Structure 1
């Protein structure tokens, strides 16, 4: 009967040591700093026209809280969902048309 033990796993690439970990961390930090320094475009989302509050000039989409979800079914019934966080003065409203089309 063969002995019951796990075979040794061979690792690819060089062994990691403290020096290589520090280089990876420095690379990560420099990449993160470069991304923070890159100018970003401000996308101004419009309030969904189906929303009753869309006629109110004081209602706006809060920062970046606007998304469209698309559900695709190969048979039929493809659906699109709109979700927005609206800000009106001191109030916040989560808008979803309540259905799909």
Structure 2
């Protein structure tokens, strides 16, 4: 047993620190999920354009998927930065 005045709060402080760490890691996993989805959309769009570009429908679908992949990537980065600021208490 210690006679430190803040000893009972130490486990709670550690719990809060670990909760913030878990939240930060979850935010990073979400960013990776956005990136994976964006890469899949852009890759599918590129494949459609490359192999089925003679069909106007497939060409349009490929271009749309390429654009949506880029939008998804930018959205993921923006969301990550907003959430990171909220987690750190700067928002």
TM-score range for the pair, normalised by the shorter chain length: under 0.3
Q: TM-score, normalised by structure 2?
A: 0.26
Report the structure, 1 or 2, having the larger helix content: 2
Q: Using CA pairs under 8 Å that are at least 6 residues apart, name the structure with larger relative contact order, 1 or 2.
A: 2
Report the structure, 1 or 2, having the larger strand content: 1
